[in-house]
Amino acid sequence: MKIRFAVTPPASALTEESFPDYLSRVEELGFDTLWLSDVPLGPLGDPIVALAFAAGRTTRLKLGANIVPLGRNPLWIAKQIAHLDRLSQGRILISFVPGLGQPGERAALGYVDRDRGKAIEKMMDLLRRWWRGEAVTGGFGEFSFENVTVAPRPRQQPLEIWLGGKSSIAIDRIARCADGWLTAAMTPDEAARARVEVMERAESYGWQIDPEHFGISLPYSAGQPAPAAVAALQRRRKDRDVSEVLAVGADGLTDLLQAYQAAGLSKFVVRPLDPSADRQAWRDDLDWLAETILPMQT
């Protein structure tokens, strides 16, 4: 099993002053992937734009993001991602997510009363057809396509689309049409059971998912995390118990990673729970993280 680690930068490392240095340090330390998140109503910017910048500043680092495709023209997102995959020499990794459901987010994206999951499935089908080189005739919301093709096509064939989620509906969708699963806020036991369910359902649908294409976004804190940060994570679980989903300290992080590996997960997006306030803080945290987990990367 190939163990790979992706890192998510804190907000302080995403500024125009710090991002170039952050990218250089991540690649220098040997992390497999940079991973960004799409928060439509948040202050972090557009991950596709940030990945394009990162592609020009790095040579080896894989470039991944959770992308909210809703509210975007599928033709343009197909062209943007395909072109970026070309320019980066095939280093793009993507996961589609429906958004965070923040107040006003669904209205801003045009999905107040529409099924976001079904819309993502339809968009995935369009993108895959275009990326295979097909001429597409059809529609998506207010957009209409008449014998439309996309060029350039991505370097990766296929360019995979992973999905997130942990509800029964999400698990079923992953089993029917995803190339991989990147979950969050699940304990190792929960993730293990859900992984088995995904594989069994995928087999029943005649869909194949690589056994190594299962991962999780894992929050960590080198020291005692701030109560506000813990409270925000607790809201993502019905039982509000984060003892098995939050890694604290070097031993806590390695132990939890090993538990997830035993559950069959092998791809990890590790993200700092407490934002680093300045450049030296994120550098120190990144160096600590590399020393702690990169010996586990295979």
List, for residues 218-267, the tens digit of each pLDDT value: 999 999 998 998 998 999 899 999 999 999 999 999 999 999 999 999 99
- HSE, CB side, 13 Å, CA atoms: give it for residue 142: 6
- Domain residue limits, the chain: 4-296
Q: Which of 116-125, 150-159, 166-175, 272-281 has the lowest mean pLDDT?
A: 272-281
Which class does domain 4-296 fall in?
Answer: alpha beta
- Over residues 101-157, the pLDDT tens digits come to 778 999 999 898 789 999 999 999 999 999 999 999 999 999 999 999 999 999 999
pTM of the shown model: 0.95
Instruction: Please give the pLDDT value at position 277.
Output: 66
Mapped to the 3 state alphabet, what secondary structure does the chain carry?
CCCEEEECCCHHHCCCCCHHHHHHHHHHHCCCEEEEECCCCCCCCCHHHHHHHHHHHCCCCEEEEEECCCCCCHHHHHHHHHHHHHHCCCCEEEEECCCCCCCCHHHHHCCCCCCHHHHHHHHHHHHHHHHCCCCEEEEECCEEEEEECCCCCCCCCCCCEEECCCCHHHHHHHHHHCCCEEEECCCHHHHHHHHHHHHHHHHHHCCCCCCCCEEEEEEEECCCCCHHHHHHHHCCCCCCCCCCCCEEHHHHHHHHHHHHHHCCCCEEEEEECCCCCCHHHHHHHHHHHHHHHHHHCC
Mean pLDDT is lowest, of 38-47, 75-84, 148-157, 252-261, for 38-47
